[in-house]
Structure 1
Amino acid sequence: MSGFKDVVGHKNIIQYIGNAVKTDKVSHAYILNGEKGSGKKLLASLFAMSLQCQDREDDGDACGKCQSCKQAMNNNQPDIIKVTHEKPNTISIDDIREQVNNDIVIKPYSSRYKIYIIADADMMTVQAQNAILKTIEEPPEYAVIMLLTENAETLLPTIRSRCVMLKLRNIKDQLVKKYLMEQMEIPDYKADVCVAFAQGNMGKAIMLATSEHFNEIKEEAVHLLRNINEMDLSELIEAVKRCMSYKLEISDYMDVIAIWYRDVLIYKATRNVDRVVFSDQLKYIKDRANKSSYEGIEIILDALEKAKARLKANVNFELTMELLLLTIKEN
């Protein structure tokens, strides 16, 4: 972590932060809202580092070399406080009182600002939200509070109205792919699959690119799709049993199938191989495109959506997967 210049995407937010720092128009409270893996923690940490930097660059970015920056990069800058919580899915009123309200009255140790970064702020109980609201309404002049949320709508309207909202948008696919290939040296075809799954979420793309478990799920699904027409009923039931071991990641398994059949549909309609995500499976994609009708592919994609909905509604897992695989085999 050296500065905003190394961040992929989020240019509007970075520009806004840079201007706020340069012009000394820093708010007392911000909400950084975006899905998991979108870069909230990174942007909040860089924002905090730039605010505390002792030798800031002209564009508002941190120098990365001063004592404060070095402390921030090592997570021991005394005036950048990252609020923690013991309960996994709840931030309690005690967490807020002890780590924010009781601490914020003490002046900064060595910096101009005292900055509080609250990750998973949408996990705050209503009591915790009311406790922090009082601080946001009457903060000390040196205080900056950053609330990181996946769903800012769960925060009280009175909190939202008193914070500057920074919404993290999806990053363009070509930027995500460029990063995976150039910075992480991920092969072209593998980067394409990760990008297709990540849908503009850099954190998710990086996680998928480095996850052996995801690779297992992908290989299992691809193996099924290549061989399902030759499989008899007992082999299909065996495939469902293997799916059971991926129960927690079954949505990823189904997404592999969905992307595979979208590839089949795109190739069947356009004969354009450049738009195929599973480019390393082109022979099998072409073969399936020649065998399946447009109607059959649509039936499969529709069955996938229905299966996802059934699993969310806790319909029997094995029965749902058996019906899905039979639909795929028949079409």
Structure 2
Amino acid sequence: MGTFKDVVGHKDIINYIRNAVREDKVSHAYILNGERGAGKKMLANLFAATLLCEKGGPDPCNECHSCRQAESGNHPDIIKVTHEKPNSISVDDIREQVNNTIMIKPYQGPYKVYIIPQADMMTTQAQNALLKTIEEPPEYAVIMLLTENADTLLPTINSRCVMLKLRNIKDTLIKKYLMETMQVPDYKADMCTAFAQGNMGRAIMLANSEHFNEIRDEAVQLLKYINEMELSEIVQAVSRITAYKLEINDYLDIIMIWYRDVLLYKATKDMDKVVFKDQIKYIKERAKRSSYEGIELIIESLEKAKARLKANVNFDLVMELLFLTIKEN
């Protein structure tokens, strides 16, 4: 499990948790809010382990019986709420796993910790059921709601919880972690960091993904030769991309980073900040060929394509239109 020292970034939240444990000012309810991959589960697990550590914190010792149980996922006083329906947490889930068990005292520790991942999926009825518990919890109970969008929770729940917002991590910290801890080579660390946009979980996922390399190579191949491509070849390219429909946002983000590189190089001639360093020859060519207006138009078209795909506009049509805009500019 490690300790808070192993967490990259989120120093404010870690200091807050350590102080709360040290000064015995632990609240009954917390919301850990941040996008997927930001580190909510890791922080919640460390917080829970610290609260129950037999040595009393402010970090889990990882040696006592309680810490070993927390690490293995078998601690009787750490309850992780699950749900069978993929997109909602029902009132029955909350009643059975939280409300009906919370009055039973902790088995061995000073606290009983409930962790609710994807808490923004709770139905209104489920939230109302939880609200009753949050309003009058037993003194040993700590409830942690992990959300990507806390605004979807009822205002009455938000107002009764301590909000811990996970912010984006600095690119330098992400790159350092990828290179030093995961032994990722320089150019790949740059790419994953640029892509992750401050999200450590996403950076790690991309660094480990073989599929990501495929998607990147497919996009780069297209961008290098799109000017020479006939309409029939563009249509063929779109049909190849259909295989990546699930990761289409990643594919579009790669194109976005490419054109940011082009714009950056065109404006500054600075190669150090370019992400696609291994493609610098083609970046230079594109910077020479495209106007500032053309590059801006392509970047706008990429945002429009994302929005259209989200709105379920015909995939082939959206992609063909995007590629033609790229070819013309």
Query: Quick check: TM above 0.5?
Result: yes
User: Which position in structure 1 is the counterpart of 2:42?
Assistant: 42
- Equivalent-residue separation in structure 1 for 2:126 and 2:328 (angstroms): 54
- Equivalent-residue separation in structure 2 for 1:307 and 1:131 (angstroms): 41
- Equivalent-residue separation in structure 2 for 1:309 and 1:163 (angstroms): 34
Deviation at 1:294, TM superposition (A): 1.6
User: Which position in structure 1 is the counterpart of 2:23?
Assistant: 23
- Equivalent-residue separation in structure 2 for 1:110 and 1:315 (angstroms): 55
User: Which position in structure 1 is the counterpart of 2:272?
Assistant: 274
Deviation at 1:324, TM superposition (A): 1.0
User: Which position in structure 2 is the counterpart of 1:3?
Assistant: 3
Deviation at 1:312, TM superposition (A): 2.0
User: Which position in structure 1 is the counterpart of 2:239?
Assistant: 241
Specify every segment of 5 or more residues in structure 1 that has no aligned partner in the other structure, as ranges: none
Amino acid of the residue matched to residue 272 of structure 1? Answer: D
Deviation at 1:247, TM superposition (A): 1.4
Helix, strand or coil at the partner of 1:148: strand
- Equivalent-residue separation in structure 2 for 1:303 and 1:148 (angstroms): 34
User: Which position in structure 2 is the counterpart of 1:165?
Assistant: 163
Deviation at 1:309, TM superposition (A): 2.1
User: Which position in structure 1 is the counterpart of 2:172?
Assistant: 174
Helix, strand or coil at the partner of 1:8: coil
In the superposition, the TM-score normalised over structure 2's length comes to 0.98
Deviation at 1:313, TM superposition (A): 2.2
Amino acid of the residue matched to residue 174 of structure 1? Answer: T
In the superposition, the TM-score normalised over structure 1's length comes to 0.98
User: Which position in structure 2 is the counterpart of 1:310?
Assistant: 308
Amino acid of the residue matched to residue 236 of structure 1? Answer: I
- Equivalent-residue separation in structure 2 for 1:214 and 1:255 (angstroms): 12
Deviation at 1:157, TM superposition (A): 0.9
User: Which position in structure 1 is the counterpart of 2:93?
Assistant: 95
Helix, strand or coil at the partner of 1:27: coil
User: Number of residues paired by the alignment?
Assistant: 329
- Equivalent-residue separation in structure 2 for 1:252 and 1:125 (angstroms): 30
Amino acid of the residue matched to residue 123 of structure 2? Answer: T
User: Which position in structure 2 is the counterpart of 1:260?
Assistant: 258
Deviation at 1:189, TM superposition (A): 0.8
Q: 1:295 aligns with which of 293, 297, 305?
A: 293
User: Which position in structure 2 is the counterpart of 1:61?
Assistant: 59
Deviation at 1:308, TM superposition (A): 1.8
Q: 1:86 aligns with which of 58, 76, 84?
A: 84
- Equivalent-residue separation in structure 1 for 2:180 and 2:212 (angstroms): 21
Q: CA RMSD in A?
A: 0.9
- Alignment of 1:74 with 2:72, yes or no, is yes
Helix, strand or coil at the partner of 1:38: coil
Deviations 1:245-273 (A, max 9, x none): 11121111111111101101100110000
Deviation at 1:109, TM superposition (A): 0.5
Deviations 1:134-180 (A, max 9, x none): 11111111111001111111111111111111010000010000000
Deviation at 1:56, TM superposition (A): 3.2
Helix, strand or coil at the partner of 2:225: helix
Deviations 1:266-313 (A, max 9, x none): 001100001101111111111111122222212211221222222222
Deviations 1:60-85 (A, max 9, x none): 11111100001000000110111111
1:132-211, aligned counterparts within 5 Å?
132-211=130-209
